[in-house]
Copies of this chain bind each other. A is one copy, B any other.
């Protein structure tokens, strides 16, 4: 798609999930932050059926990085009929994500705008909550979201913390980081803790070294962050965690989204708020 025809930021925010997915299905490859305001975005991982129990158990045991929004059973390209998350009859998980990653034996072999050529009927697909869901209520509360202001992808880091293993699946916790003005950190905690299904409260506030992060300016995924004077780095569990698990656990094949290039679902963010 010609860059001139791209919807501007306001138009992206107003777009319906089905409209956005239709654009991505035609091959548009852009990060989805800021698209379809009010709708939940999802991290993606597909693995062979033989690994599906271990993957679902990994997610169950690590609900902060891997909150399950929907599961597409073996070979299914969308959720069950009536699914509020991804039940649209026009949905097709092989094309709806703007950019995919294909992994073989733990190696990233390709980044592609669709996975039609890689699809197998034994693939089970997991849609996991994404922290973009709580950026909107943060903004509404007057908390700046620096990467949105800068038009960048959020910064993500591999940490020295380990996830709880499940079967042969194991790996480190990956976090996203948002710089928050010191006086608003408590509000950021309060607001995001209302969304446990989309990573919820931060896992860490302050000192990056305590998470094994040496240099905030060189994230492992996404773009470098922009910290302003008085900002505190606040870290949330991140849905890229399964990709770090794939790197380490080396399943025969796995398909994921590319970090920041999420699936836009039909579920309202409000669906995931707790009191």
Contact = CB atoms under 8 A, between A and B. Distances in A.
B71 A60 contact: yes
Interface in A45-92: 49, 52-53, 56-57, 60-61, 68, 71, 73, 80
Contact of A196 (B56, B57, B165, B274): B274
Given A53-B53, A56-B60, A194-B274, 18 more contacts: A49-B53, A52-B53, A56-B57, A57-B71, A57-B73, A60-B60, A60-B68, A60-B71, A61-B71, A73-B166, A73-B167, A80-B165, A193-B274, A193-B275, A194-B275, A196-B196, A196-B274, A274-B274
A74 to B, nearest CB: 9
Interface residues of A, number: 22
A190 interface: yes
A80 B49 CA distance: 23
Interface string A232-275: 00000000000000000000000000000000000000000011
Contacts of A193: 274-275
Chain copies in the assembled complex: 2
A166 B194 CA distance: 28
A170 B193 CA distance: 32
A61 B70 CA distance: 8
Contacts of A165: 80
Interface of A: 49, 52-53, 56-57, 60-61, 68, 71, 73, 80, 124, 164-167, 190, 193-194, 196, 274-275
Contact of A56 (B56, B80, B274): B56
A52 B196 CA distance: 25
A274 B80 CA distance: 29
22 contacts: A49-B53, A52-B53, A53-B53, A53-B56, A53-B124, A56-B56, A56-B57, A56-B60, A57-B71, A57-B73, A60-B60, A61-B71, A73-B167, A80-B164, A80-B165, A190-B275, A193-B274, A193-B275, A194-B275, A196-B274, A274-B274, A275-B275
A108 to B, nearest CB: 26
A68 to B, nearest CB: 5
A169 to B, nearest CB: 12
